[in-house]
Amino acid sequence: MNQRTYQICSNCIMDTTDSTLTFDERGWCDYCRNFHKNILPNWHPNEKGIAMITPLIEKIKREGKGRDHDCLIGISGGLDSSYVTYVAKELFGLRPLMFHCDAGWNSQISTTNIERIIDGLGLDLHTEVVNWEEMKDLQVAFFKSQVPFVDTPQDLALFSAIYNFDAKNGIKYVITGGNYSTECVRECIEWTYYSTDMRHVKDVHRRFGKRPLKTFPTCDIFKYRIYYRYVKGMRIIKLLDYVPYNKEEAVRLLSERFGWQPYPQKHYESRFTRFYESFWTPRKFGYDKRRAYLSSLVLTNQMTREEALERIAKPELDEKTMAEEFEYVAKKLDLTVEEFRELFAGKNKSYRDYKNNLFLITLGTLVSQWLGFEKRIFR
């Protein structure tokens, strides 16, 4: 097979480490073209957006009368979930029940940030703790599978726990921190395969797991997209897409008002995700997920392309810290450092090497895009 000639987008910093990426005559990548064609014309993080979302906010308030809470918000301690909590409570006057899923990898900063947001806004918090033995077993199984997205177990647990809780308790409206401002560029599925493809998860666990997942939170993508939405009536609201959301300004506001502490990089509130994104994927699979995060900031004019290139040229963690994190993760997963090194040196594989529902998921995504519900590229 011929090696593809390396190319980097002339407008953002996505490159051919995303093997599916194509470029036009200007050197612009798919993500840039999609942003300017489909996202930007329909995205209104301003007074127009506030006017668009206000009728729904008023509906949430009306339907929530007589209840302790009128909506549900998941909080990780990261910027997006912390800021959307502030926006929902302070800007729109909603009364959210806060939900946190503890998958065993919270950093001390994330725990402190959650406490400061909850206490500072006077909110109620429900925490669900994932069975650690089951989490550990599934995580080790994914390392043994040699697929890139070894963060699937944690991602699946966090996603499933909140939606299962919401459906069980009849809270119709779920407000998420998802947004275009900091994540309009979505990594390709070769980097980040669908964590809610339960056919894929079950096949990996069947081959490499050692214990049954009796209590582990799961929610198949079809259950979420069809049953929860159209039978249970669950409504997912990306509130940050309707208000001004600038990363640096949000950090400044949360820090000054609540003593909230920033992270070096998106998703670093999880110690496992920090290790996976800063060490495992760049060194084992040759791609850096920061490209997508930083490209999102370039496209939304929160960072220049030159600043993004300078940032991506340097690792977020130094060699000493990465070595310490390697040992920490190995020990927490009950693996010796040597066993973990053997897994790191194993032959790389793909989601294609395991059973999956990609065809049906892709079909559903195409329908969502056709209906206008989804404007990002999924491929």
Domains defined for the chain, CATH in brackets: 44-371 (3.40.50.620)
pLDDT of residue 2: 46
pLDDT of residue 371: 57
At 265, the pLDDT band (50, 70, 90 cuts) reads confident
pLDDT of residue 224: 87
pLDDT of residue 1: 39
Backbone φ and ψ for 89, nearest 5 degrees, come out as: -80, -50
Rounded to a whole number of angstroms, the CA Rg of the chain reads 20
3-class DSSP string for the chain: CCCCCCCECCCCCCECCCCCCCECCCCCEHHHHHHHHHHHHHCCCCHHHHHHHHHHHHHHHHHCCCCCCCEEEECCCCHHHHHHHHHHHHHCCCCEEEEEEECCCECHHHHHHHHHHHHHHCCEEEEEECCHHHHHHHHHHHHHHCCCCCCHHHHHHHHHHHHHHHHHHCCCEEEECCCCCCCCCCCCCCCCCCCCCHHHHHHHHHHHCCCCCCCCCCCCHHHHHHHHHHHCCCEEEEHHHHCCCCHHHHHHHHHHHHCCCCCCCCCCCEHHHHHHHHHHHHHHHCCCCHHHHHHHHHHCCCCCHHHHHHHHCCCCCCHHHHHHHHHHHHHHCCCCHHHHHHHHHCCCCCHHHCCCCHHHHHHHHHHHHHHCCCCCCCC
Give tens-digit pLDDT for 149-172: 999 999 999 999 999 999 999 999
pLDDT surpassing 90 at residue 360: no
pLDDT of residue 378: 57
Give tens-digit pLDDT for 173-214: 999 999 999 999 998 999 999 999 999 999 999 999 999 999
Q: Which of 20-29, 207-216, 246-255, 365-374 has the lowest mean pLDDT?
A: 365-374
pLDDT of residue 367: 62
pLDDT surpassing 50 at residue 290: yes
Give tens-digit pLDDT for 214-250: 999 999 988 988 899 989 999 999 999 999 999 999 9
Q: Which residue has the tokens 């300017």?
A: 36
pTM of the model: 0.94
CA distance 180 to 212: 38
pLDDT surpassing 60 at residue 108: yes
More confident residue, 371 or 107: 107
Q: Give Cα separations from 95 to 161, 171, 244 (angstroms).
A: 20, 12, 21
